[in-house]
Structure 1
Amino acid sequence: MIHFVGAGPGAVDLITVRGQKLLEAADQIIYAGSLVNPALLENAKEGCRCLDSAGMTLEEVIAAMAEGEGKGWLTVRLHTGDPSVYGAIREQMDILSKMGIAYDVVPGVSSFSAAAATLKAEYTLPGISQSVIITRMEGRTPVPEHQKIADYAAHQATMVIFLSASLLDGLQRELLRGGYAPDTPAAIVYKASWPEEKKFSCTVATLSETAQREGISKTALIVVGRVLGREYERSLLYHPAFSHGCRKAQPQTQTYGDHREGTEK
């Protein structure tokens, strides 16, 4: 059996309980060594074969899986974060299906969630943004038409940008070209949840400058949007004057501001 397991964003205690149990039971672990915290391999049992896929091709990864299957091994394919986000797992699963090899997927905590925790941010705020766009800058690997940074920037939603820390000059230009104001809040989160985690607040206009000053060129997420600012509206979910299926509206006994300076509701 092949288990695709999300390793989480980096901190060893942010892997799921299910994922950790599979690591402990695995006869073979194939892990993305350039991104996965190697401390996670300390959960492996004695005699477990551990292969770093950073220097392997897809064909070599599949061959190792097939070899393990032939020996009756439990194989864990360990991906960083959550496997569904830039995990390149679809191509592996399709080949395994054609080979008749059973597999499943264990979700993990994505680094975009860890980045929000680091920034103490909420990606969706009433009146500011109700959508989160997860994307990356176009580099050597192209992106489809109408899915470029400037296309998404036009929505003014929260953006979490992967795989782009080395492309910040171009990213900054595309964000501005797409419609973000130069003073739109932004942040760079380096190795979210790792012991060496760093975070840097800036604006869209100072993204590249900030990264250069701090020496950040890889393993960082870029977060852009007014959710990183101070203004937002109060959620109706817990508002005393708002009814829903679990609570009837109550007479309003206290009025809270909507978190815009000088504004009361």
Structure 2
Amino acid sequence: MTVYFIGAGPGAADLITVRAQELIKAAPVCLYAGSLVPAELLDQCPEGARKVDTANLDLDAIIAELRAAHEQGLDVVRLHSGDPSVLSAVAEQLRRLDAAGVPYRIVPGVPAFAAAAAALGRELTVPGVGQTVILTRTSQRATAMPEGEDLDTLGKSRATMVLHLAVQRIDYLVEQLVPNYGADCPVAVVARASREDEVILRGTLADIAEQVHAADIRRTAVVIVGKTLAAQQFPDSHLYSAERERP
């Protein structure tokens, strides 16, 4: 058997890979991350499949489910929102499965920041404006951030910054980022990216907090900060330049 950790995407049921869809249709056991995973994906599970909502399970209980399936020789799809490579809490599950000798594979998905950028109609890396993207979060009610990864330190680069799990601290974000980015730096907040109830807010560090409070956005949102969000005057990419040497 194999446990397949699947990136179930940012919310729209059709934003998953063909590989992921085929695995969901075949697996007799499905563990999924509660309200973050579209119900339409669960409907694709085979008839009689065991479906387990992990929203209220701790790590031990989740691993117990995976080990039980292993003992029965049953494949498992473990659905995580977004992509497993970023802020997915997959690492600790993999560590325990390694110790238990349970085989697994990871199937990538569409991350929330990519869906947010698509909703905004923006490229996050613009020639001559910004070529670096920082993916991070804050630590109010989550695991503490490692030393050197606080917003002030990261912000010194003035790179495009994408903040997950942080919109409920929008006032704090503004306070921490203004000294490095400036109050006029463009900001966008995308809540429930790719879903029917998606909300997009555009502004600057000077006014984005007021907009977030007015819209009552408290979770399931991505905050993007950086000049690339509003870049208009920039050089064309060398990739398609007529002057570029080609084979």
Provide TM-score, normalisation by structure 1.
Answer: 0.90
Q: Secondary structure at the match of 1:217?
A: coil
2:118 maps to which residue?
A: 117
Q: Quick one: which amino acid aligns to residue 171 of structure 1?
A: L
Q: Secondary structure at the match of 1:45?
A: coil
2:164 maps to which residue?
A: 162
Structure 1 position 227, deviation (Å): 0.7
1:104 maps to which residue?
A: 105
Question: Where does 1:231-250 land on structure 2 (aligned, <5 Å)?
Answer: 231-240=233-242, 242-246=243-247
Q: 2-side partners of 1:244 and 1:54: how far apart?
A: 53
1:52 matched to 2:80: no
Q: Quick one: which amino acid aligns to residue 77 of structure 1?
A: R
Question: Where does 1:107-146 land on structure 2 (aligned, <5 Å)?
Answer: 107-141=108-142, 142-146=144-148
Structure 1 position 233, deviation (Å): 2.2
Q: 2-side partners of 1:244 and 1:59: how far apart?
A: 56
Deviations, residues 158-193 of structure 1 (Å, cap 9, x unaligned): 11110001111111101113x111011110101100
Structure 1 position 245, deviation (Å): 3.6
2:16 maps to which residue?
A: 15
Q: 2-side partners of 1:49 and 1:106: how far apart?
A: 20
Question: Where does 1:215-234 land on structure 2 (aligned, <5 Å)?
Answer: 215-229=216-230, 230-234=232-236
Q: Quick one: which amino acid aligns to residue 180 of structure 1?
A: Y
2:183 maps to which residue?
A: 182
1:43 maps to which residue?
A: 44
2:7 maps to which residue?
A: 6
Q: 1-side partners of 2:233 and 2:217: how far apart?
A: 29
Question: How many percent identity over aligned positions?
Answer: 41
Count of equivalent residues? 244
TM superposition outliers: structure 1 runs of 4+ over 3 Å: none
Q: 1-side partners of 2:38 and 2:153: how far apart?
A: 34
The CA RMSD over aligned residues, in Å, is: 1.1
Unaligned stretches of 5+ residues in structure 1 = 247-265
Deviations, residues 173-220 of structure 1 (Å, cap 9, x unaligned): 01113x111011110101100111110101112221110011111110
Q: 2-side partners of 1:131 and 1:91: how far apart?
A: 28
> Are the equivalent residues in 2 in contact too, given 1:182–1:203 (CA < 8 A)?
yes
1:147 maps to which residue?
A: 149
Unaligned stretches of 5+ residues in structure 2 = none
